[in-house]
Amino acid sequence: MDIYQVGGSIRDKLLGLKIKDRDWVIVGSTPEEMTSLGYKPVGKDFPVFLHPDTHEEYAMARTERKSGPGYKGFSFNTSPDVSLEQDLSRRDLTINAIAEDNAGNIIDPFNGREDLKLGILRHISPAFSEDPLRVLRTARFASRFNFKIAPETLDLMQDISDSGELKTLVPERVWTELEKSLTYNYAHRFFEVLKECNALEQLFPEIQALYGVPQPEIHHPEIDTGIHTMMVLQQAVKFTDDTQIRFAALVHDLGKATTSKDILPKHKGHEERGAKIVKKLCNRLKIPNKYRDLAILVCRYHFICHTVDELRPDTVINKLEAMDAFRRPERFQQFLIACEADARGRTGFEEKSYPQASKFMKYFELARDIDTSHLETSNIKGKEIAVEIHQLRVNSIAKYRASIQQV
């Protein structure tokens, strides 16, 4: 039998990137032989084995044939006479169909190395259109490498979108691809590519609905909310590796798609509508609660952060308490980063300072650090204590503001 290292590890090696996982293909063997050599079978749909020492995955070379709907609707042939090139030909993109033998020789039957140099994502064969998951995977690779999509590949992606096959993707897999894209430096490209191939409306209609919706006049009326959302996501990527913040930045304005144009400039109503849309989105895709909760917080209160200096001290405390900031200070910090990304996600504002975040944090710290020692010897109890603490927090901010005005 012959063993080849294949796929992502070879691609990343040629790009000079750190290799995380290595995948191997076995040509000319049988499951019985692999088991006799100490490999542990783990594959469900086709023979995959774990190496007895490294525990890396070794798959039998295979061909596949479309036998049903969706990305699981395939039958496989894993006989010993399946060649390496046949195995590589079933893969999605040329850059993922490169192999290396034990001597370090590169096997590249589909010119993947050339596409790596050109920065192009190109399908290998028309069979690309048989698997709807490849639309999401290609968009994800665009978000990772910022590569262009070959025109003929984009045509196939549009064909998949028009076929209705995207509806067969399970929610968990859609979320997995989205979450992975949020880890990359060009996360916005994931959504741009999906929009370009008509898949965004089917997979993420809440985001598609933002395009064509004008931004409020106090921001930038010449760009629509869809474009603004992508700019906000780019800013979030610059600020943090935290995918929860990046997701919150992505969905912070979903409510604007349901708000009439005459109300929108006044910033009334869309925050709570946005929170409800986020809930539905997270329920549909089975998105973890930690993502959902921060995203809802940003939806509801990001405009509060933008205008924090215009609020009365008691309103500031009311909002901090509503956000549960005193019990969840780490999440409040995440919230502030998302708000700054929103503020900078507009042409000409990318490098502009955003003092509101530091001011809101200052107010939080003042309210958090109030002296409550006298309450231990007081006669007040229960709800009266909460009322007193609330008032002490309000007073701390009022006193601070007064001292600044005097200066």
CB of 119 within 8 A of CB of 58? no
Domain 1-118 sits in CATH at 3.30.460.10
pLDDT of res. 62: 85
The model's pLDDT over 224-234, given as tens digits with 9 standing for 90+, comes to: 899 999 999 99
Mean pLDDT, the chain, rounded, equals 91
pLDDT in tens, 134-143: 999 999 999 9
Compute CA 94 distance to the chain's CA centroid, rounded to the nearest angstrom.
Answer: 25
Q: 259-302 pLDDT, tens per residue?
A: 655 444 444 567 889 999 999 999 999 999 999 999 999 999 99
Predicted pLDDT at 407: 53
Q: Predicted confidence band at 373 (pLDDT cuts at 50, 70, 90)?
A: confident
Name the amino acid, one letter, at 209.
A
In Å, what is the CA distance from 237 to each residue of 94, 174, 217? 28, 20, 26
Residue ranges of the chain assigned to CATH 1.10.3210: 205-406
Strands 40-41, 23-27: parallel, antiparallel or unpaired by DSSP? unpaired
pLDDT at 399: 95
Which tokens in the block code for residue 400? 């601070």
CATH of range 205-406; options 1.10.860, 2.30.110, 1.10.3210, 1.20.1420 = 1.10.3210
Q: Whole-angstrom Cα distance, residue 246 to residue 338?
A: 7
Residue 216 has pLDDT above 80, yes or no: no
Strands 57-60 and 23-27: parallel
> Helices then strands (H, E): number in the chain?
18, 11
Q: What is the mean pLDDT of residues 184-195?
A: 98
- List pLDDT tens digits, range 31-81: 889 899 999 988 776 788 899 999 899 988 888 775 566 555 456 777 888
| Average pLDDT of the residues in 301-318 | 96
| pLDDT value for 215 | 76
Pairs from 285-288 (Cβ < 8 Å, separation ≥ 24): 285/171, 285/172, 285/174, 285/175, 285/178, 286/171, 286/172, 286/175, 287/175, 287/247
Residue 264: per-residue pLDDT? 46
CB atoms within 10 A of CB 373: 6
Task: Express as a percent the part of the chain with pLDDT over 90.
Answer: 73
pLDDT at 326: 97
Instruction: Write out the residue limits of the CATH 3.30.460.10 domain(s) in the chain.
Output: 1-118
Alpha carbon 10 to its chain's center? 25
Q: Average pLDDT in the 125-131 region?
A: 91
Query: What pLDDT was estimated at residue 260?
Result: 53
State the pLDDT at residue 406.
67
Dump strand ranges (E) for 281-335.
none
Report whether pLDDT(105) > 70: yes
Whole-number pLDDT of residue 377: 75
Give the pLDDT confidence of 325-352 residue by residue, as tens digits.
999 999 999 999 999 999 999 888 889 9
